[in-house]
Structure 1
């Protein structure tokens, strides 16, 4: 027989952001923002649990706390923008359709009016032809409930649980969007358009095409013997560390199916409850002579009463149920197995409800908790009942940021490492320290981060040893400086880009370079020598202005010194002891045409380094060269300082990869110190990347400057350093929680997915682990495997560009995978 649901709907009206039932129950509704799963320690779970207990204790008797967590399997919808780059689009497309578990959590506080009769399975509103008319509401009743709810909300917020009160439209819905009532009745998302479905309650629950199953924990015999605020997650635990998740996590995000978890706590008249239990104990005492079971029950009630009185426990009634649904009848048994397995992790036994399922489901309607059948509850203390509240949420995602993936299901999330954390005070600088073992995925992480920052307009400069950024640089069309015998490294610090002038900073840069080429590191220069070089630079650019056909470079500068500046010195009667032009020209002659290093300072291409947004310096072949390495490092330092000071309002990033070689040199070490201390003032980011833990432990530059001035730390797989981890933990200042998270990296990766995990610590407060999962085109662009790099270059040459070559090769690889 079909019945209009409106005739049985217990909701009388929605007003003033509250649900009022036909029997006078008032419900205030909140959406709950829970901390992300896999991000908290045992102490933090305990603190949240205690906050819940304190918050519930401020509520008055005859209040119901109902938390409803909704988990729906959904496909990921790619987030594309018109200006997205080729790799951004490829990355988003690779995740399109990826199933994940979307979560929304709600908390309902229901106040029952005095004299309201407790419901049971036989007296549910669902069984009546029409609900009882609404009672008159007392204004004082409303005021008191509002004050208690406000105190409840403040305590939870202080405990790390954020509540947002739902408004009338979110409760009742609108023409274009379903409200919380509709979404519950028809198992739809709140952001979806309203769709009315048939609800069948005969022989189980069926909503539209979905077959529902209801599993309950309502009998004390089925409950776990022990409960707490958290449990161990074995997948991420090690011999040294225990990894924590919330006690109810197996029923939450870890249960991979469409489901809804309802947790109820009923606060009654405490003294009356204890009085009734005392009567029950006496009754069992009188019957204990007839049955051993009665004696055991008597002792249990007696222990309960003793604890309530001695420990000042609040006795409550509680209930937990899990509602699952699927549109395939064949999946029902598989879902039952999943729920049973989840319950077993809690050491609990769930009951599959049949006869009473309809009444329990109907009581789960927001605002109808007072109609819950009390014969399906169990007696316990508040501290134990609060353990079953879900404490874990999904990873949050911003509109724009660095695309990583949440750890559990791989849903892409946008992570902001720099702007929002600075605005909120989470970090005080944007500097980064990146560390991980060989093969842990450092180059993939840094390539991905650099490409993301480049797409956002950042000027990215990378000092590399190992060729990790060649593919990305070629794709972006940046400058790639590398030394080979056939094509040695070339610069032109004398070149001025169009619109650029010889300012004080450029002049100082050239003076420092020339002095470094002329004098040894420990050899001082005189004031007169400094002035002479300064005048030479000034007059050289006057000379260029008069002779526009002369190409700027060291060769033409050397010619100017020999042909014109020598005459200037003679006319000025500059003495040899004040400035030795002959010695200056002799020492610098190897950099002049025909000299051993005539290529170094006379480049005719890749000249506009100030305005080029992606530059890579590959120093592997010259890292031990006594002449080239110092000169190149000076050019890099001066170039980046020029970017810092001249590019107002633009983000600058300097990444120093495998940096121990570079900072081993005194000049570069001083530059790194200067950089980490001042770059924040110029909207800049300094990032140091290393895999050498021994250098990390021994280098004073890294320990005293880099780590202390890096509010963002990225750590990759560190299991190779397990025996040194205690020292590493001390140097990095990692907490016990951070240690457990770092050692859990890549321990339980999803089968069939290829990715590496990365631990991110911001300010020592926000700690998370993400997947760095890349699309095939991204992987091909970032790979450091020699055979793969050669193959990419071959396809790029064949198809005319790096982008087209990667696209073609990615298609070939996808076809190869499908045929296997």
Structure 2
């Protein structure tokens, strides 16, 4: 028993010794945190901090405006200028303390209620993935002169309110979102900073310990790194807001301090950036005295110092620059058992690459930590914690980047950001809170193997899940799996079951200019072929015969109206005058004209249309066209070629069913339709014709249905990219936006862009959304694409970083894609779970393996995917093709079980 008492007593003594060592005996170290703030109060919704030394502070929560990997040096310079102008606005007696807090978090997904199976698989796949989040706070502090007795000064208080208001307004005017924290929010943030724990709503602390080289608390410890040692300041001679890195042989600008957000093995990092704004007159006087002191001792080093000070004085006089005192430090938090030396080595190497040597001193850990509390920056030691520089240089050392966040939009299409975290964007560019485009049509270019179809599957799947009617024209079975999963209609062209439609069968109210143009283009396409350009007379003839055809069907021909008869009379009077005999009387001329009009009326009355179809149109037009030519004395029209060309689609012709059988009426109600026309892609007659008709089907759906619609035309768009079709394509693109619809074309050939004026004029110029996948294969010839798509140098830099960043660690296979919506562009990742992959795959072996599961299990497509992916996971095989080959070799469902 005595032994236990002795052990207990020794343990208590040791504990007391440690406590005295770390916190003192109730003296300054024990009370240091309690002596920071006097109070925190709400003043008109703004939390104001009062320190016990008399400083006033307000804290703004904000987002840095420069998107990480934006590739635009102008954005870095612009934000640096904003920070410099804030310093000028505040002026003498103020300090800016910017804190960028980087926290390692785990992705939790988004709770949007009940989801479709694939969306649920998507968010389940990403749940728990680690990523770095960034929050930014800007504290404005008014200094209290310590030599005077602290008392309320109404003039200083009013100046403080005016200055912090100006800072908020300046940020807003520059498009930077910010808001003042309330008193409760400031208290919570101060508690988080004290605990160096920024992830949970509740903050707790235990076992706070201070050593010479770090501070420990609970299961964590952190170390303060001062970026500049004032006794040995090592900074580059030339400093700017960004630095360049090489990516794929392209120079890519990143933040000068970009390394602070990617320190390995950390739990959180706080980058403290403090700028003190002194009296410019006093500092200039001090510089002058220092220059004179150096000049009085004529040696090389002093002469260099004199020259440097002269340069600074000249720069300030010429460009009205501002002298400031600065302090920069990092608070790096790691697990209690982690090796801080690894972080130190990483930081020394990273900062060394930009010419900055971080301070090696660590004995003032607690002092630096306390001085970095929001509002307490004036407690930092003037002699060894601050250094003098120009405001421009100080702003360069501030962190300027932000990480992508999901957009505020009802239409959410998920990609990953470049660190692998899902972010939602408005792919249309016009439905979000921030409108980026006037229309949502898109153009997608990606060479073979770049993941083009995989990307489009992902986009279309998400659009469909959000109530969008999808119509697709495909030439390679790229969307068969997704269509089957969605329970859509998959229509493929075969000789036994051709895609048949009756484009001539319309309602009276559908008889408008657009429909007439479509039918005219359809007839001209059959008659003149794909690439021919019809003459003006030929177009007018077809327009007239189509108009008369519908007039006969809907109204019947009962004779010319008075206005029509008068017009004919004038025309025939002129013709009769040129061909009549000299002995003809006026009565003879009138009789001849009336007789011709009567004959014309009789001929038209004889033509009857009993039903609307291509057959009846062929019969009507072949009978009517010769008379129209004859009555109008039109020559040079090859009526025989017209009759012969159109007869292929008439009764007994090769394609007699194509234009004479009504399309499946249920298609109108289908929400997912794929027209697979790969079997006729080389048929110069059918390929453009069927594509054109499918496009017209979409127009009818687009006009009548009230929800969002999308038409995606893969390589089939080339079938209608001819001069004859340009007008119709242009109409389709311009009209879609009026009916909450979007039209997109997808291609993989460079020549399709640079070799077709139709693509440029009718498609690209009417697409506000441009999508590009890896353009590495086109790099040597990219100038043509750049010119036609109107890409800027900044956008080109982004494009050539696609799939080239070192951002693959901890992620499965993914592809990146460049998306430009209006003037806003960014590179995103397309990373999907196995369930989605098996839905999208075009690999034959994988499709056959999935079909085997579906057939043998006798289940739905979704259930087959579930069973297949479950066995895939249990197999331990990572590569999809390898597992598919195993399934195909077995020729049956594997039914794998978990190993016990």
Q: Shorter-normalised TM-score: what interval?
A: 0.7 to 0.9
Question: Does 1:767 find its partner at 2:774?
Answer: no
TM-score scaled by structure 2? 0.77
Q: CA deviation at 1:714?
A: 1.0
Q: Is the 8 A contact 1:227 1:387 kept in 2?
A: no
Question: Does 1:793 find its partner at 2:851?
Answer: yes
Match of 1:613 in 2: 671
2:342 to 328, 334, 358: 334
1:662 to 712, 716, 719: 719
Distance 1:515 1:385 in 2: 65
Match of 1:482 in 2: 492
1:224 to 235, 239, 242: 235
Match of 1:65 in 2: 96
Match of 1:130 in 2: none
**TM-aligned CA distance change 1:281 to 1:486, over 3 Å:** same
1:437-456 mapped onto 2 (5 Å cutoff): 437-456=447-466
2:51 to 21, 24, 43: 21
Question: Does 1:459 find its partner at 2:469?
Answer: yes
Q: Is the 8 A contact 1:609 1:639 kept in 2?
A: no
**TM-aligned CA distance change 1:791 to 1:485, over 3 Å:** farther
- Kindly provide the CA deviation profile for residues 678-732 of structure 1, in whole angstroms up to 9, marking residues without a partner as x: 1111111111111211120121122123222211111111111112111211111
Match of 1:103 in 2: 134
Distance 1:477 1:660 in 2: 25
**TM-aligned CA distance change 1:318 to 1:510, over 3 Å:** closer
Q: CA deviation at 1:810?
A: 2.1
**TM-aligned CA distance change 1:749 to 1:756, over 3 Å:** farther
Of residues 417-426 and 730-739 in structure 1, the stretch that sits farther from structure 2 once superposed is 417-426
Of residues 350-359 and 264-273 in structure 1, the stretch that sits farther from structure 2 once superposed is 350-359
Match of 2:377 in 1: 369
Secondary structure (helix, strand or coil) at the match of 1:621 reads: helix
**TM-aligned CA distance change 1:528 to 1:665, over 3 Å:** closer
1:771-782 mapped onto 2 (5 Å cutoff): 771-782=829-840
1:185 to 194, 197, 202: 194
**TM-aligned CA distance change 1:632 to 1:367, over 3 Å:** same
Of residues 503-512 and 222-231 in structure 1, the stretch that sits farther from structure 2 once superposed is 503-512
Q: CA deviation at 1:212?
A: 0.7
Q: Is the 8 A contact 1:156 1:162 kept in 2?
A: yes
1:52 to 83, 87, 92: 83
Distance 1:526 1:234 in 2: 61
Match of 1:435 in 2: 445
Match of 1:545 in 2: none
Q: Is the 8 A contact 2:520 2:543 kept in 1?
A: no
Q: Is the 8 A contact 1:217 1:223 kept in 2?
A: no
**TM-aligned CA distance change 1:660 to 1:639, over 3 Å:** closer
Distance 1:488 1:33 in 2: 57
Match of 1:200 in 2: 209
Q: CA RMSD in A?
A: 3.7
1:714 to 755, 771, 774: 771
Q: Is the 8 A contact 1:422 1:429 kept in 2?
A: no
**TM-aligned CA distance change 1:809 to 1:5, over 3 Å:** farther
2:400 to 371, 380, 391: 391
Of residues 312-321 and 618-627 in structure 1, the stretch that sits farther from structure 2 once superposed is 618-627
Count the aligned residue pairs.
762
Match of 1:120 in 2: none
Distance 2:242 2:318 in 1: 27
Question: Does 1:12 find its partner at 2:39?
Answer: yes
1:30 to 52, 60, 65: 60
Distance 1:492 1:532 in 2: 15
Distance 1:59 1:468 in 2: 60
Q: CA deviation at 1:47?
A: 1.8
Q: CA deviation at 1:382?
A: 1.2
**TM-aligned CA distance change 1:209 to 1:630, over 3 Å:** closer
2:761 to 698, 701, 704: 704
Match of 1:647 in 2: 705
Of residues 529-538 and 413-422 in structure 1, the stretch that sits farther from structure 2 once superposed is 529-538
Q: Is the 8 A contact 2:105 2:199 kept in 1?
A: no
**TM-aligned CA distance change 1:144 to 1:40, over 3 Å:** farther
Q: Is the 8 A contact 1:511 1:533 kept in 2?
A: no
1:115-126 mapped onto 2 (5 Å cutoff): 115=146
Distance 1:69 1:529 in 2: 69
Distance 2:751 2:546 in 1: 43
Q: CA deviation at 1:504?
A: 3.3
Match of 1:625 in 2: 683
**TM-aligned CA distance change 1:631 to 1:435, over 3 Å:** closer
**Bigger radius of gyration, 1 or 2?**
2
Secondary structure (helix, strand or coil) at the match of 2:761 reads: helix
- Kindly provide the CA deviation profile for residues 43-71 of structure 1, in whole angstroms up to 9, marking residues without a partner as x: 22112212221221121212111110100
Question: Does 1:244 find its partner at 2:253?
Answer: yes
Of residues 299-308 and 102-111 in structure 1, the stretch that sits farther from structure 2 once superposed is 299-308
Question: Does 1:350 find its partner at 2:409?
Answer: no
Question: Does 1:687 find its partner at 2:687?
Answer: no
**TM-aligned CA distance change 1:349 to 1:576, over 3 Å:** closer
Of residues 6-15 and 92-101 in structure 1, the stretch that sits farther from structure 2 once superposed is 6-15
Secondary structure (helix, strand or coil) at the match of 1:812 reads: helix
Q: CA deviation at 1:671?
A: 2.7
Distance 2:71 2:175 in 1: 11
Q: CA deviation at 1:219?
A: 2.1
Distance 2:733 2:297 in 1: 78
**TM-aligned CA distance change 1:137 to 1:663, over 3 Å:** farther
Q: Is the 8 A contact 2:37 2:49 kept in 1?
A: no
Secondary structure (helix, strand or coil) at the match of 1:351 reads: coil
Secondary structure (helix, strand or coil) at the match of 2:527 reads: coil
Q: CA deviation at 1:22?
A: 1.8
Of residues 197-206 and 87-96 in structure 1, the stretch that sits farther from structure 2 once superposed is 197-206
Q: CA deviation at 1:511?
A: 12
Gaps of 5+ in 1: 118-133, 173-178, 540-557
Q: CA deviation at 1:23?
A: 2.0
Secondary structure (helix, strand or coil) at the match of 1:206 reads: strand
Q: Is the 8 A contact 1:761 1:767 kept in 2?
A: yes
Distance 2:310 2:515 in 1: 85
Secondary structure (helix, strand or coil) at the match of 1:114 reads: coil
- Kindly provide the CA deviation profile for residues 57-99 of structure 1, in whole angstroms up to 9, marking residues without a partner as x: 1212121111101001111112243331111111111111111
Question: Does 1:150 find its partner at 2:161?
Answer: no
**TM-aligned CA distance change 1:758 to 1:217, over 3 Å:** same
Distance 1:50 1:511 in 2: 55
Distance 2:417 2:463 in 1: 20
1:213 to 214, 220, 223: 223
Q: Is the 8 A contact 2:501 2:661 kept in 1?
A: yes
1:356-755 mapped onto 2 (5 Å cutoff): 356-374=364-382, 375-398=384-407, 401-407=412-418, 409-418=419-428, 424-485=434-495, 487-491=497-501, 504=510, 516=522, 520-521=527-528, 524-525=541-542, 531-532=548-549, 596-597=654-655, 600=658, 607-648=665-706, 650-665=707-722, 668-752=725-809, 753-755=812-814
Distance 2:709 2:202 in 1: 44
TM-score scaled by structure 1? 0.84
Of residues 140-149 and 657-666 in structure 1, the stretch that sits farther from structure 2 once superposed is 657-666
Question: Does 1:76 find its partner at 2:133?
Answer: no
Distance 2:625 2:721 in 1: 39
